[in-house]
Structure 1
Amino acid sequence: MKEIKVLVVGGGIGGLATAIAMRGKGFAVDVIERSSDMHASVFGVGIIQPFNALRALDAIGCAQQCLEFGYSTRAWGKTLNAEGVEVRQMPGATIPGSNLPPMNGITRPKLHEILTTRANDVGVNIAYSTTVSSYEQGANGVDVVFSNDTAAHYDVMVAADGTYSKLREDITGDDTKPAYNGQSAFRVNIPRVIDGEMEIDRIILQHAPHGMAGFVPIGPDLAYMFFNTSWDKSVRYEAAELPAVLREQLKGFGGLTGAVRDRYISDDANIVLRPIEWMIADGPWHRDRLVMIGDAAHAFLPHMGQGAAQAIEDGVVLAEALAEHDDYEAAFASYFERRYDRCRRVIQACVDIGEWEKGRLKDFDNVATTQSIIETLVQPI
Structure 2
Amino acid sequence: MACDDSGGGTAAVWLDMDDVERAAAAALPPDVWDFIAGGSGRELSLAANRAAFDAVFVRPRILRDVSGCRAESTLLGRAVRMPVAIGPVAYHRLVCPEGELATARAAKAAGVPFTLATLSSVPVEEVTAVGGSVWFQLYWLRDTGRTLDLVRRAEDAGCEAIVLTVDVPWMGRRLRDVRNGFALPDHVRAVHLGGGASTAHRGGDGASAVAVHTAETFSRSLTWSNVEQLRECTRLPIVLKGVLAPEDARRAVEHGVDAVVVSNHGGRQLDGALTAVDALPEMVEAVGGACEILLDGGVRSGTDVLKALALGASGVLLGRAPVWGLAAGGEDGVRQVLELLAAEVTDALGLAGCAGVAEARELEAVVRRGRR
**Could you tell me the TM-score, scaled by structure 2's length?**
0.23
Counting strand residues as a fraction of each chain, which structure ranks higher?
1
Q: Of the two, which has the highest radius of gyration?
A: 1
Structure of higher RCO (CA pairs closer than 8 Å, 6+ residues apart):
2
The alignment's TM-score, normalised by the length of structure 1, stands at 0.23
